[in-house]
Structure 1
Amino acid sequence: MRKLLFSHFLFLFVLSISSGQDLATVLDSAINSKSDYEAYFSKAKSLIKSEDDKIQYLNAKHSFFSRLHDRDSMMALERELIPLLESGNDKQGLIKVYKRIGYYYEVAGLYDQGIKHYLDALDFAEKIGNPEILSEINKSLSQIHRLFHDYEKAVEFGKKAYQVAQSKDNQYLISQTNALNIIGAAYSEMNLPDSAIFYYEKILELTPFLDSMTIGPTIVNTGYAYLLKGDIEQSRLYNNLGLDFYKKTNNDYAKSVVYINAGMTENSAQNYKEALALLDSGLYYSQKSKYAEMYKWIYDEQFKIYNAIGNYPEAINSLVKLIDIKDSLFEADRVKVAKDLETKYRTALKDREIIEKETELKANQARFNWIIFFVLLLVVIIGLLIVIHFLNQNRFQKKQELLEKEKEIQIREAAIRAALSSQEEEKKRFAKDLHDGFGQLITALRLNISGLNDDKNLEEKMALFEHSENILGEMHKEIRQIAFDMMPETLVQHGLMPALREFAQRLNSSKKVMVGVQSFDFDGRLIEIQEISLYRIIQEWCNNILKYSGADRIDIQLVNDEDELRLTIEDNGKGFDAVLLEESKGHGWKNINSRVKLIKGALEVDSNPSAKGTTLILAFKPQIKILEPKVLEK
């Protein structure tokens, strides 16, 4: 009796002291109190004077129940916080609430609901644009998709988390580490340990900037990846490092993961007794962390061990527990948890919803007449806007058609100018070749012939005759070269591939460049316009390579791929900025583009000023030439 009186006196004394304190102080006392927290929270509730005070009060209660791991109470508080934060447009607060709700559902195994709330948090985070927050939410989405066995989505969100956390000054290294960990975990679940280890090693490259607390998860995940790879010793090494690290912390979830990984490793090593002991420790910490996913791994591994050692009753017992987890915990119980949470939420908001509905009805009644007026006015305005829109659209369409026609005319004029310019250049080159090469040979021949009429002995005349014969041979070669440059006879008579090989042979004979020609699934004839256009494009591009790039190797390939013929020209010369081609004032590139348009092809050039080599790719639909049958005569 005396104890009860003393307790009552103490309670009144506490309240009397609290009455003179502000809300923050009372809430701080409530959070830290072990026995009189209800009295403190009751006093704090009486001090609430605004919505901000109520938010502060609810957050304090949330912190208190978080220490007790009372997720039902925490979820009810989250539901009360949402409308208050929405009314104040507190995006930061809403992000925190939706993240926490998503995590509650994740822990309970309600992955679809968890994903929904994480996405709500992501929506608000994208409006704020904070890289650290965006990375954290994408990481959570990766984690829950992995648990939901949607591994492609898990990798996708993990890579987004890593991408948004990257910065020049390494400001978000911890976020990068978390993202890389979650990507590696997804690849481990996909049974791709090499890919997982690749991402974990990227974390270890950041270790000069990180502390041991940051790389703890990486150590644990790496141990599991080596287990999947079959490297027991490496897995055991990382498991032991993880155990040593997390034994010093209060992270029950991490401890359960490390013990389960270690148990799986020892099971693979057929150390069954040690494996069972480690799994028991994992079960203990799973119960403390209340993370449902862990039970599935434990019971599955226990079933394998008992089955391996011939303890079939225990194996069946573990299998029954595993089935119960999959069928009950992740189905019926999850639905029950969600329904209970929704019921608590509806109960807490019922009174306020009634008041809001009454207020809304009164406001609607007051605005009803105005709405009718504005609706009629809006209909008239919309009608006028529709008419104006159609008039503008018609005008815009005509303007676009006119612009397209003008553009076509400009393109045609440019093509014609390029063609005429090319023809003029070709005529100049032809005249120059005749004057410089063929003309000089004729002059030399004339001098030799006139020398035959001089008074010379027979030996001198025979020498002049032989020299004249050599000059005639040179003249013949010069005529053949000019004819080849204008239109190769091989192209007309035998087709593209023989003409390209002859072209390559002529370039190779210079000993300055090695040209290779290959074809795959193509050895026929194309229509004349396509063969000539392709030949001229290749000829022009190779001339530019020899003129500007300094290459000593050129590879020309023609590949027939179903309904598409693809030309590829590669060289090992100096790279350049491909954008400069469009700004070029020369006729070579214009001629190439004109011929590409002529055969309705698609052209792409890949080059970089800081790297060696350039690649030209031309794709078009080939038109096969139908050859007339020849009459064979004996």
Structure 2
Amino acid sequence: MQLRLILFFALLFQIIHVCAQDYLDRDSLWRVLKNSKPDTNQVKLYIQLGQQYENNNPDSALLLYEKALELSAHLNYTRGIISYYTNATYVYNLMGRYDTALTLNLKSVEIARAFGDPERLAACLGNVGASYMQLERQEEAVETYLQIVPIYEKLGDKRRLSSIYDNLCTIYFNLYQFPKSIEYGEKSLQLSREINNVVGIISASVNLSMPLNKTGQVKRSIELLKEVQKLAKKIDHQYALLISAMHLGDAYIRLSNFQEAKRSYQDALALARKLNDLVSEVIVLRGLATCLYTEGQIAEAESNARQSLRLAITNNYLSHIGHAYAVLAEIALFKRDFKGNVNYSLKSDSIRTLLLNESVTKNIQNVEAKYESRQKEQRIMELQQETAIKDLTIRQSRLFNYILVVSLLALTIIALLARRTYQQKKKIFEKDKQVQAAQIAKLESERQLLASEAVIKGQEEERGRLARDLHDGLGGLLSGVKFSLSNMKSNVILDTDNQLVFERSLDMLDHSISELRRVAHNMMPEVLVKYGLPEALKSYCDNLRQSQIFKIDFQSIGMDKRLEGKTEIFIFRIVQELLNNAARHAKATEVLVQVARQENQITITVEDNGTGFDVVKESNTIGAGWTNIRSRVEYLKGKLDVQSTAGQGTSVHIIIPAT
């Protein structure tokens, strides 16, 4: 499931803006301002006053910052000009005007470079990187932050350098470059530990845990998140507790530890509601639903998923609406509600397609923005050149040529973008068709599997019932008849001929009772239920050996730990069917049976020296025995390999996942 990124330092570099600003009394500041002279101190007063209005009256804050800019320009006060840009961009970010904030930040970088102050240049570049992140222009954000790294390395500022690495960790994660994300996350965490920056350790650990999860390093991720929880409790950082609990839930799901995942999500849900964090609540409810339905608590799982969906719809969280539908589709499939599964899956796919289209549109807009930015820069350079040129005719000619080239370039780019958009839409459409076809095929396969399961389960139940009836009913009846005849033998005087007939009848009755017990045992061996698969197979092979049908060598390797009851029965039936084939059809004299367990799989090998058969030729005419074998192997999600040549015997090799 998709969780939220935590970015404690995404806008850290609005340092000049005043992470340390004092909320002074406005009236006092106005009185001081009225009595002040138009100098650098007055610029600082305008900035301080603007900061008091940022959150509740941003327009007033901007007017005060513009006053500071005018006075700074008049005084040629570079620090004041830079202060204007850093503070004004903070307000524009609050107002959601990210493009305006980016323009001002880029201007502040030019001024900071000219001013020659590396610390202020790094701060301004940090603001530019933050603007690019707000605009989801990730590649440009990376380029900007990488320019800051050598500055802070040279200054020896480990605190700010660690936050730069933290931001790079997050951006590379968004770009799906997980090794790079881990590299910078480790650097950020190491620096934060060196300077004992608790908040930095929390941020770096949370952000690093995400690419670790994605690359399968789940245990390391859990260790970091548990450390975050300890630190967050010490400093009472509620939001860090919330995010770490969410990420822990995600990590435990990857380990299929649904109990721990559920516990983490429950902690996160309480914190999300306490902090009124609706997005986190939507995500956590979805995670809880996943845990609950895997534990078979379908009604509660569906309730949580629907709560998540309602919150997402109410707040127009489009991507989370799609994720909620996906979870509901899984629950519907678990309930065997195939119609509901298809319905929810289609809704989820529709939203995913819509989001993909929005992403494509954003990418196109970013390309257009880059093009327009370059176009403006070229325009400025051209105008500067034109100013230097005195000949009006030459200037007009150059301008005409410039416009012609730009127009052709614009038309070419528009055509390429239109073609690219068409191709992407076509690919998305084809992909959706393939996904839907795959889903239908998957549902059909699952339906067939359920049908096979029902048939096999019915067969086993019928075998068990018949075995009990034969053993308890007919077996008991025959034993009673034998007992009566034995008593009668001692009480009745028979001549020699009748005595022989009577003895032969008793022998035949003994043979019938033995045969009945053998049949009942084969239908549902008591040894299998009591002592497990190896003992049951050994007993069955011993019976075959004693019957002198053929020599049989049984081997059990690593089968000390018992399997699930259903799995043991299915494997027993498979081996039983293979041995029956060897006895009835193959005319074998020697048979090898081997059952071995290696790590997470079980291998079954049955080889005979019988007549064999042409596997390819006979594949279309295989009887019910082979059909039952294949059905059981498919149900156990195993693989069946048959090697046989006419006159050279048969070798059957089966691999089944251990459960």
Give the TM-score normalised by structure 2. 0.44
Give the TM-score normalised by structure 1. 0.46
Larger Rg: 1
